[in-house]
Amino acid sequence: MLIITDYSQALVDISITSLIKEGFSAKGTPCDITNEDDIEKLVDFTSRNGLFKALIHTAGISGPLKDLKKFLQSIG
């Protein structure tokens, strides 16, 4: 299960939809990483959705990927 977060629920929803279309299991929630309450909500959300195994922090990374599934498999 991939947990996706972004500052915008709309962006979270777009990412989740794309991942699911590619065959991944994904859920998400919005989070402003500069807000401690949002971070606590993210931790709670993550803990309710299974065992936490890894974190990929991509703040500041942008640009579309042509083949998201291929990219994720190459790093994982």
**Angstrom distance (rounded) from CA 67 to CA 64:** 9
pLDDT at position 76, please? 58
Q: Residue 38 corresponds to which amino acid?
A: D
**Angstrom distance (rounded) from CA 26 to CA 45:** 13
CA 56 to chain CA centroid, nearest Å: 9
Q: What is the pLDDT of residues 18-64, one digit of tens each?
A: 999 999 999 999 998 888 899 889 989 999 998 888 877 776 655 55
- What tokens were used for 16? 């989740």
Question: What is the residue extent of each domain of the chain?
Answer: 2-75
pLDDT at position 64, please? 59
User: Across 13-52, where does the E strand assignment appear?
Assistant: 26-30
Mean predicted confidence (pLDDT) in 72-76? 65
- What tokens were used for 37? 């309450």
Confidence of residue 65 (pLDDT cuts 50, 70, 90): low
pTM of the entire structure? Answer: 0.68
